[in-house]
Each structure stands twice: as structure tokens, then as C-alpha cells.
Amino acid sequence: MSHPHPELPLPPALPSKGLRIVALGGLGEVGRNMAVLEYEGRLLVIDCGVLFPEDHQPGVDLILPDFEYIKDRLDDIEAIVLTHGHEDHIGAVPYLLRLRRDIPLVGSRLTLAFVEAKLKEHRIKPVLRVVAEGETARFGVFDCEFVAVNHSIPDALAVAVTTGAGTVLHTGDFKMDQLPLDGRVTDLRAFARLGEKGVDLFMVDSTNAEVPGFVTNEVEIGPVLDSVFAQAEKRIVVASFSSHVHRVQQVLNAAHAHGRKVALVGRSMVRNMGIAAELGYLDVPPGVLVELKQAASLPDDRIVYMSTGSQGEPMAALSRMANGDHKVQVGHGDTVILASSLIPGNENSVFRVINGLTRLGARVVHSGNAKVHVSGHASAGELLYCYNVLKPKNVMPVHGEVRHLVANGALAVRTGVPADRVVLAEDGVVVDLVDGKASVVGAVPCGYVFVDGSTVGAVTENELKDRRTLAEEGFVSVFAVVDTATGKVLAGPQILARGMAEDNAVFEEVQPDVVAALENAIAGGATDTYQLQQVMRRVIGQWVNRRLRRRPMIVPVVVEA
């Protein structure tokens, strides 16, 4: 298996009749999935999603793919193909369309309905092309065939892209549930037919490659939810992804069976389920749904709240319930069900929410203590089936952390794919498919792009480092007035600290050292206020580190009299 080298050069020109694949996100992480395919100077984008921030990225709302690679080639993009409607595959579409609004968006009916609603908030009217499984469509030099795949959201599609360089099959997110709630199975017959024609590169979901066997069928969740509902004495809160239509359907069914009403909580939950119901993907039993205001007047044993926040997101409904600052007040005897799996990196946030809810007296049911969720991603057994059905010439694992990609590559090798035909790439690594062989040929810059409030890309790693320093070590400001003509400090240094346990009086000890250092610097010819500020920063920093064992952010200000 070919591993990318961290010091890869910029890629050479793409050979004639070669196909280039560059992942701008989704390789080495679970989120912000985006792949760019290039053939004969034209581009096809597959997915354009977001990554959600972790604890070490304070203040960040979303993380986008890095569009720098395609920023100067927006007119070369034929279309954006969206495999399904989860945020990690569609969430960054508005930010790409800000750069060119008329790029056609291609996807299934539900996927494009979710995207269109999201774009409305950004005041963008998109160009939409609805496709369904079994359809083919041509976008410039790219012939696309769409294949039904099963996932944790309805209407997911894999896409087979054929050019003069060969056929690439991109699964998107998928699994092989043989008893799906909507009866729509992964189309292995289409996979087999594509395999017979020849799949030159198989880009395949890796998220569950380390998990042996097969994913549990979705239908097995219904009886577990039914049992939890039967035991619940008071209110029930179920948290799930706002796009998990199947799970919401099971909650509606269980609530209806137990004489409970359901109130949707969270803007994205209300929006997405409204769309799903309108398009016929969600079957709402008569009279089950109620408004949140109406729910407050119902008896505790007659209400279910269907909420967002299953990943511990700080501003989502469930986190606010755990903190006691939501209109739904969770209390003793209530039951909370976390109907989702843990996305890597979110563990601490989720456990914090679980502990908060438990402290309030709720019974918390989650995937660790009950079968209330199954993954939407194929496990190792399912992936082996796919490799054996397709017999791909080359394999490029996608969608997962490095360990997932490596595990997926190893599965491919076990089924007979030559090790030198398994390409393990990370974000920014350039893979060329030339003469039937896929190989790493270089890399392009591909960093994180942070969305912070209304700013996109303005926050850098240095700013995040400053935020972490402020949060963990505190802040010290130092102010002094100097007369460079006489070489004397006329006022100060005034030292104030924030976010530190010590009283400001402790800094009286270092004030004489700061005065001496400033006067020595002036005597030595330093008259620039920036130089003098750095002298103060150095003296204070060394003293604080030695005396208080801290490394705070230090902001020195020197004013010349």
C-alpha cells in the first residue's frame, strides 16, 4: 500500500488521458468530505461537507474544505455531485457557491431539498439537477451513473464516473442493511454489473473498516426503542442527527404505539423533518406531532421531545437541557435516549452531556448501554463483499481517520487487490489514474478553513493558539510610560492579570526588575516603543514562568512621554 509522504512536491502536469483525484477533505478525518476529479482540464466535485470543531478549536463554528486549489478554476467545474444529505457532505456547499453561484448541484430529491433549504438561509438560488438510482447523466467530459446505496439517511447514492481514463466508483457513505426501513437496499446487482465492465478505481467508505462482521439491521432498533418507551415513567427526550429520517420515523412509531405526542426541538430538526414529511420520506402518524409550546401543557407521561445535540454540540438543544438553560427542563424520572454513534473527537463533549443529564436525575440510554443506534457505515464483512463483487483494479479508501483508511486498505489486499494498487492518501494528496494504474504524484496545500461567526478563513491556527493560551494560562497586561530623552520610567509598570488565581499584588515583586530592564534598554540605545515592549514581555514572561509556573498571554504597552 502506498503511503503519502509528508514532504510531497507539487504535482506535475496531468498526463493526456489521465484522471486526477484530489481530496480537499475527508481523508484523515470524519467530516468535510470533498473530492475533486479532473479530466481534460474539466473538474467534477463529489460532495462538499463540513467538519465540526473539537475542544482544542475554541470559538470555531464549522471547518470547511480548503477551496484554494480550485479557486482560480471555478469556471472549469462542471457540477457538484452530492451523495447524500448529511452535513459532513453538504454543509460547505453554500460557501463554495458564494464563489460561483451557478455551479449545478446534482443529487437525489431529498438531498437537494435539504441543500436548497440551507441555501435559502444564505440567500442563494441554486441550479439543481435531481437524479435517482439507475439514471445516467453527462456533465461535460464526465459520464455519471447513480447507484442506490443504503445509509442512515434516505436517498443516498453512489456515483460511477466514467472518462477516457476509466471508471471511478465513489460509494459516498454506505452500508449493506438487508432489511432497511424504506426497503431500499444497496444495489449490489449494479455493483456487480459495474465490476463486470471494470472498475478502475474504487473510492470506498472507510469509517467502520476496523469493525468486524456486519452492521446490525435498522429494524432491530425499533423493538429496543419500544421497550425503553414502555419503561419510561415521565418525559422522553430522544437526541439524534437532524437528518436521520429513519430514526425519527422509529421514534414517531414508538410514540404513537404508546400514546405519546412528539415535539421536534431544534431549528434544523424542524426544518429537515418538515421537508422529509412533505416529500413522503417520513410517514407521520395522524395527530402525533405537536408544537413545542403545546407540549409544555401535556402530562409528562404523554410527551416525547425529538431533539438535536447527540454529539454534545455546545449550542444544540440537548447540551442546553443538560446545562439547565433550555425551555425543556429535564428532571428526575425523565428518560433521555442518545440515538447516534460517537463521532471520533466528540467523546468528551458527549460524556459531559450524559453526566449533566444524569445529575439532573434523568435515566440516560445510549449506544454504550442499549442497542438504540446502529451505524450507517459498512463494517469489514460488508466491505469484503464489495471488493469481491467489484474486483476493482485500484482502491482508494475515503471517509475516515488514518487508522480507518489503513484498515480498509488491508481488507482490499486480503481480497486480492495488489498492495501497490491500494492508494492511501490524505487531504491534499494528488492521485493520478493513468493507463489503469492509480498512484500518488504529489500534494497541494490543503489546510483547515475555520468559520467563526460571520468570518470565513480569517481565524488561523495562531489565533486558535492564542485562544487556547487565554483559556488555559490567563492574560497579563503591562503598561509603562517612559521618557527616552532622560532614560527614565515616568509611570508604571502597571501590571494586571486576568484568568489567574494569583492576586495582582503578587506582581509588585517584579516591578523593579521591569523598571531596571527598561532603563538599561534605553541606556543601550533602544528608543523604539516596540523594542521596549518586547523587553517588558521578556522580563514578565520569565518571572511568571519561574515564580508562578504559568505561560500566560502577555500584552505589553509602552507610551513615550
Binding-site annotation: residue ranges for substrate: 373-377
- The Cα–Cα gap between 61 and 53 comes to 7
- Which of 128, 83, 67 has the alpha carbon at shortest distance from 101? 128
367 Cβ contact list (under 8 Å, min separation 6): 338, 340, 341, 342, 373
Q: What is the DSSP string of 180-209?
A: -TTS----HHHHHHHHHH--SEEEEE-TBT
Task: Please provide the distance, in angstroms rounded to a whole number, between the alpha carbons at the two ends of the chain.
Answer: 67
Q: Is 428 helix (H, G, I), strand (E, B) or coil?
A: coil
CA 141, CA 139: separation in Å to the nearest integer? 6
Binding-site residue numbers are 373-377
- CB contact set of 362 (below 8 Å; sequence gap of 6+): 237, 330, 331, 332, 333, 334, 335, 336
Which among 475, 494, 477, 495 is positioned nearest to 550, based on CA atoms?
475
Contact indicator for 401, 29 with CB cutoff of 8 Å = yes
Per-residue burial over 14-40, b = 16 or more CB atoms within 10 Å of its CB, e = otherwise:
beeebbbbbbbbbbbbbbbbbbbbbbe
Question: Sign of torsion, CA 384 385 391 397?
Answer: negative
What residues are paired with 64 via a beta bridge? 449
> How many C-beta neighbours within 10 Å does residue 436 have?
13
Cβ atoms within 10 Å, residue 345: 19
Chain center to CA of 203: 19
Q: Which helix (H) or strand (E) holds 463?
A: helix 461-473
Q: Is the distance from CB of 32 to CB of 38 less than 8 angstroms?
A: no
Instruction: Extract the C-alpha cell encoding 511.
Output: 516591578
- Secondary structure of residue 548 in the 3-state scheme: helix
What phi and psi, each to the nearest 5 degrees, are found at residue 365?
-110, 125
Sign of the dihedral defined by the CA atoms of residues 159, 165, 166, 170, in that order: negative
